[in-house]
Amino acid sequence: MGTTVRQIHRSVQKIAQNAGLDHEEARLARDCVVGICKTGSCKVSDIARTLPGTRPLRETARPFYDALADERSGLDDLRRA
C-alpha cells in the first residue's frame, strides 16, 4: 500500500501543479484522493480518519469542509488540468 500511496501523491502533485493550486490546496487535494483510495468513501469524515494524528475528528475534518466550501478555491481547476 505504501508504494501505491506514494504514486498517488506524485500524480496528484503533478495535476495540482498543472492546475496552479497553492500549497494548501494541493495538500487538501492529495489528502482527499489518498483518503478516498484508502476508504473507498468520499465522506469527509471518512477521509479525515485516514490522516495521521491524535486530534479529534471534528478538528481534523474542519479544514476539509472550509476549503471545499470556499468559492475562491482553485480545486475546481483540477478538472481542467
pTM of the model: 0.81
Can you tell me the distance from the alpha carbon of 27 to that of 32, in angstroms, rounded to the nearest whole number? 8
- Checking if the pLDDT of 2 tops 90, the result is no
Question: What is the model's pLDDT at position 1?
Answer: 62
In whole numbers, what is the pLDDT of the chain averaged over residues? 88
Look at the block and give the residue holding cell 481547476: 77
Q: How many folded domains does the chain comprise?
A: 1
**Domain span including residue 69:** 2-80
Backbone angles phi, psi at 40, to 5 degrees: 75, 15
Taking a C-beta distance cutoff of 8 angstroms, is the pair 41, 47 a contact?
yes
